[in-house]
Chains A and B, each alone.
Chain A
Amino acid sequence: MNNYLPLSIISLGILAFATLMLVIAPGIEMARPEPPAGLRPYTAEEQRGRDVYVSMGCLYCHSQQPRAPEQAPDGERGWGRPSVSADYFYDSPHQLGTMRTGPDLLNVGARLPSESWHLTHLYQPRAIFDWSIMPAYPFLFEVKAKAEEGDVVVALPPGFAPAEGVVVASQEALDLTAYLLSLDRTYPAPEDGIRDDGYRPRGDAE
């Protein structure tokens, strides 16, 4: 190899080919004009909450992509049906995730529908599970001497409540909780849903 130009052109050509395969072709296949019936856009509050989720980096411990029963017992754990690409119609930036230091959250709103539970859990996960290694997010809350009109007070077991006053959720905490509660893809998967079916037993594929 003695020439710079061919080296560059072939190298870039190979990268272009890879881009066609990994990005463009699947992108065309997955593109859909319509969201699936049953999926609604995020409300302004939920979208703000999603931004909090992104900026806190919940992604680095939580996936949002339940696996198929042939591969893993995600369904048994209550994490939901296997997700398909259309389920993410409104998601940007995507938060599919690669770690399950904590549970999958794509359907956490259906599994844990209590706002109060989430607020307690975000303020101090160990107030609920002593074994949890999820970070606490006390900076999303405020300690006040007395709750004011309209404040949402966080329920805390003894030992976790401040010595004096009450813990009140900030707007960010409320938004984040609204987002968590909106995570619900329990509607039936669209007929033409796309996902990796590579774990299906042979002969079962279409």
Chain B
Amino acid sequence: MVTMGLLLALSFVVSLLALAFLIWAISNKQVAPDQHDARVIFEPGDEGHVDSGETATSRPYHFDTVRSGIDAVSTRPVAVLLIAATVWLVIGSVFGLVASLKLHWPDWLSDHAALTFGRVRTLHLNLVIYGWLSQVGIAAMIWVLPRIFHTPLRAPRLPLIGAALWNAAVLLGAIAIANGWTDGEEWLEIPWQLDLVLALAGVFFMVPLIKTTLARQVHHIYVTGWYFLAGILWFPCLFVIANLPYVHSGVEEATVNWWFAHNVLGLWLTPIGVGTAYYFIPKIIGKPVFSYAVSLIGFWGLALFYSQVGIHHLIGGPVPTWVATLSVVHSVMMFIPVIAVAINQHITVGQNLWALKESLPLRFIAFGALMYTMASFQGSIEALRSVNSVTHFTHYTVGHAHLGAYAFVTITMFGAVYHMLPRMTGRVFRWPALINAHFWLVVIGFAIYFFGLSIGGWLQGLAMLDGTRPFSESVILTKPYLEARSVGGALMTLGHLVFAFNVASILLPQRVPESVRTVPAE
């Protein structure tokens, strides 16, 4: 017991010391990223100009030939990944909607095992995480890293092989889950045999990105690069260790499970979302982020604290007290890196609100970045023991999961896709109103979803904690909120259909009068 208490203290002290050292190093210019480094995202002439031009009505974007040479190489792999991701987004959302409806219409579609709630929900999670978010994230990496390194993507064919393998594994994984073949742990349901294929596919994504990094033409690695490059190392390690068959069992398996599952959010999806926002916000606005030095604290703080929060999913459970407490403490410490990111991103947007009018993609990305702050603050508070007792086993947690995975990462990626596509194709979106419609559908849908589940989940938690109220009360009182979630989710799903239409409309060859075209990408 004593030694374990020591370990707890040790972990905390090490993390704090590391952070203190970092702050010291920054203030003493030992590591000195200065505002000059933050400008590495701009080509000469970019800075000071808004980078919009997705639609025929907005000003044509500044297009520079050096960059178009870079983009031209990335376009193919990025397009393939984006198309696949979009398909999974739509299918995954439909499964989410079906799962949601089933929670208040339990006898709907109950004749087949493949359509039972436990499987439909699992399909939803795996398709949106591995099919949609992971792929759109890798697409963004393939697009952004060569740009910030000022050199074309190396080995640009490998990601195509990777995409083929990855999508085959996701598809087979979905079929396996629908038929009841699952590894049986949340976030790790895809059978490990198929996980091997996913891991192999990952290699085909990592090699080109690392080769590009090593061949870079600039001295400095821009902050987005830190997040992306660390993410592509962290995720494979997590994925392989957690999926090792026959190694884990009992409660130890549960700790591996939540170490993995929370790190998928913290060390994979979050770097994707934060890294993307860190590139596109200043790039679109045409001004560097507010304080580049602070971004270092955001990054290393995330690495130190986020990596240790996973056991907050087992608070009050059969795990050693100290490890639950450790995760609670680190969850609260997450305020530090989150505030650091918030300072950079929100102030940069806040000082340039005019740009939201100019650029539709920026609206998505700025909204997503704001939701990152919200989701993280909420998560830190949710991990407190007193709050966790109420929320832990309820729909409140699902609301929180969507604030992070949906409102933050997914919506940020929508913006990134809308920004990349015109530059990939040399075309413009012909129906900007549909981009706007997509935005409002998902934002309003999400708001209904989130407030519905947060209120309903909280009441559910209070009912369960009150021993004088029968369990049935906690079920009955949530029904209207579950219905509200289905309404919100339906709007979101509709928004995704509009998104898919927008993506298809710009990618498919179109007969457009020459006058509405912008400069073709070579």
Contacts and interface: CB of A to CB of B under 8 A. Distances in A.
A127 to B, nearest CB: 11
B110 interface: yes
Contacts of B303: 10-11, 14-15
Interface string B175-187: 0000011111110
Given A21-B7, A94-B251, A206 B1 contact: yes
B252 A26 contact: yes
A19 interface: yes
- Which of A61, A71, A96 has the most C-beta atoms of chain B within 10 angstroms of its own C-beta? A96
A148 to B, nearest CB: 23
Interface stretch (B193-201, B218-226, B357-365, B496-504): B218-226
Given A92-B250, A96-B254, A198 B315 contact: yes
Interface stretch (A40-48, A135-143, A151-159, A175-183): A135-143
Interface in A89-134: 89-103, 125-126, 129, 131-134
B464 interface: yes
Contacts of A83: 317-318
A18 interface: yes
A176 to B, nearest CB: 12
A178 to B, nearest CB: 18
Contacts of B486: none
A21 B4 CA distance: 10
Interface string B73-110: 00000000000000000000000000000111011001
Given A8-B229, A14-B304, A98-B397, A26 B255 contact: yes
A196 B320 contact: yes
Given A18-B307, A136-B107, A25 B7 contact: yes
24 contacts: A4-B214, A4-B229, A11-B303, A15-B234, A18-B307, A27-B252, A29-B4, A55-B181, A61-B118, A65-B317, A67-B317, A83-B318, A85-B250, A87-B318, A88-B250, A92-B249, A94-B250, A94-B254, A95-B184, A135-B110, A135-B118, A198-B324, A198-B325, A205-B321
Given A1-B31, A136-B107, A199-B389, 16 more contacts: A8-B233, A10-B303, A15-B267, A21-B326, A22-B259, A29-B4, A55-B180, A56-B113, A57-B116, A93-B184, A94-B249, A94-B251, A95-B184, A98-B186, A195-B321, A197-B321
Interface in B467-521: 467, 471-472, 474-476, 479, 482
Given A15-B237, A55-B181, A198-B385, A30 B315 contact: no
A147 interface: no
Closest 3 CB pairs of A and B: A57-B118, A73-B467, A18-B307
Contact of B251 (A18, A85, A134): A85
DSSP majority for the B interface?
Answer: helix
B318 A2 contact: no
Interface string B292-332: 00001000000110011011011111111101111110000
Interface of A: 1-4, 7-8, 10-12, 14-15, 17-19, 21-23, 25-27, 29-31, 54-61, 63, 65, 67-68, 71-73, 76-77, 82-85, 87-103, 125-126, 129, 131-139, 194-199, 205-206
Q: Tell me if A's interface is mostly helix, strand, loop or mixed.
A: loop
A136 B106 contact: yes
A138 B320 CA distance: 40
A189 B486 CA distance: 42
A100 B463 CA distance: 12
B385 A84 contact: no
Contacts of A89: 250
